[in-house]
Each structure stands twice: as structure tokens, then as C-alpha cells.
Amino acid sequence: MDDFLFADFLEDHAVYAAVEAYWQARLAFLDGRCAPYLRTSFANGQPFNDGNPIVNLADRNAGKAARIVQQCPQEFGACYTSFGQAIELAGSDGHLRPAREKVIVLTLTQATAQRAGDELRAWFDAA
């Protein structure tokens, strides 16, 4: 049986905030190098709180971005998949530039968190 972490994150705003803090701490090795590139709230400031994305980071200088989509374990069971795709990122001048995005879709366990962290480290460290 999988030991899902923060399993009820979609139903409880406090748990959602806790899982966001968990990811921030887990991916702290990217601090100072990456910054969010996607909106995670509506125009009125109300957060989406839907897990898509639970994490989003971009290294605009390298033209790389990544996001983690965390899914509900009760609905999806154990899962982990990742893929790359072409996107455009706005530069500091506001102009869009071609970039590559790594997308990781998972249900959260200790093992999938470790795998995602390792994959993101390799993604952002690769030339």
C-alpha cells in the first residue's frame, strides 16, 4: 500500500498550504535560480488550490521551466509520469522566448517526492 502524503490537500486549505510549504522546502536547492512563471490564483486573489500546478519554477536565463501537477490519490491512486514540451516564457523585457518545460504529474509519497526532486535537479542542471 502506498503511503500518500497530504492526501486530503484538495479538500482542506490548511493542508494545501502545508503541501506547498513541503514542496518549497524540498526544492530549496533551486532558490535564487528559479522563480514561479505561472499564475496560481484568480484575478481576485483567490488561490486555485487545484494542484495544477502545486509547484512551478522557471530559469529564464536557461530557457527552462518545470511544474508539478499533484493529483488526488483517492481518485488516481499511485501515479507518476513526466514529459517535456515546448513553451514560451516572457523575458525581463516582456517578450516571449522559446523554452522547454518539464511537467511531472504525480500522487505524493516519499518515493515520488524524491523522484521528482531528482528529476528537477537533473533538468535544471543539464546544459
CA distance 75 to 73: 5
* Low-confidence residues in the chain, pLDDT < 70: 1, 127
Encode pLDDT of 46-59 as tens digits: 999 999 999 999 99
Query: So what's the pLDDT on residue 67?
Result: 98
Q: Where are the chain's structural domains?
A: 13-125
Mapping DSSP to helix (H, G, I), strand (E, B) and coil, where does residue 117 land?
Answer: helix
CA distance 55 to 2: 22
Q: How does the average pLDDT of the chain come out, rounded?
A: 95
Residue type, position 20, single letter: E
Query: So what's the pLDDT on residue 93?
Result: 86
CA distance 65 to 96: 13
Query: So what's the pLDDT on residue 54?
Result: 98
Query: So what's the pLDDT on residue 96?
Result: 95
Phi, psi of 5 (to 5 degrees): -100, 140
Query: So what's the pLDDT on residue 127?
Result: 64
E runs forming strands in 6-79:
55-59, 64-70
